[in-house]
Amino acid sequence: MDNEKTALRSRLLAHRRALPPEERRTAARLLAGRALELLVPGAPATVAAYVSVGSEPGTRVLLEALRSRGVRVLLPVLLPDNDLDWAVYDGPESLAPAGRGLLEPTGPRLGREAVCGAAVVLLPGLAVDRRGLRLGRGGGSYDRVLARLAAAGSGARLVTLLYDGELLDAVPAEPHDRAVGAAVTPSGVRTFD
């Protein structure tokens, strides 16, 4: 299973790195518009998101669009044990470089459980399959978040942001893997049962 996941991750990451910068910028704008379709109009909401890095589908346009609509945006702060704490996003100037090339919010830490108050949780991933199973990068941080949400009985909508072509027939899965409810690509929103 690990070899299969590793090979698939390598292939998907190589494809992402090969995308031209203009294609990445266009995808980020389209993803922002598609992801905003998931919000209930007029309803105040908290969205747990993340700051994209490297060749990940861009989230910065989306973060600003959410903030401009009055949405409270929580961003992760990576802890030494690879778990995630959370802080409020107060704009691009509130981000600072952190370990592993990440950008993290500089505001007060809200605790690991803060994510349980989100209506929508945006999860990074490399692919999602037709069952809604997500292939992450393998660090386990978001597996912990998903387990925490499940233990809290959270009704948050779980959404992975992807490039077109990263919706696959199947991804290697393990018993602890949890499905997401939707995948957003530049082409549209795909929901799963």
Encode burial over 95-118: b for 16+ CB neighbours within 10 A, e otherwise. beeeeeebbbbeeeebebebbbeb
In this predicted structure, what is the pLDDT of residue 43? 66
| Pairing label, strands 95-97, 103-105 | antiparallel
102 vs 78: CA distance, rounded Å:
9
In this predicted structure, what is the pLDDT of residue 15? 96
In this predicted structure, what is the pLDDT of residue 1? 56
pLDDT tens for each residue of the chain, 193 residues long: 578 888 999 999 999 999 999 999 999 999 999 999 888 776 668 999 999 999 999 999 999 999 999 999 999 999 999 999 999 999 999 999 988 888 999 999 999 999 999 999 999 999 999 999 999 887 889 999 999 999 999 999 999 999 999 999 999 988 878 899 999 999 999 999 7
pTM: 0.94
The candidate with the shortest Cα–Cα distance to 57, out of 93, 86, 34, 25, is 25
- Domains by residue range for the chain, with CATH: 2-191 (3.40.50.10420)
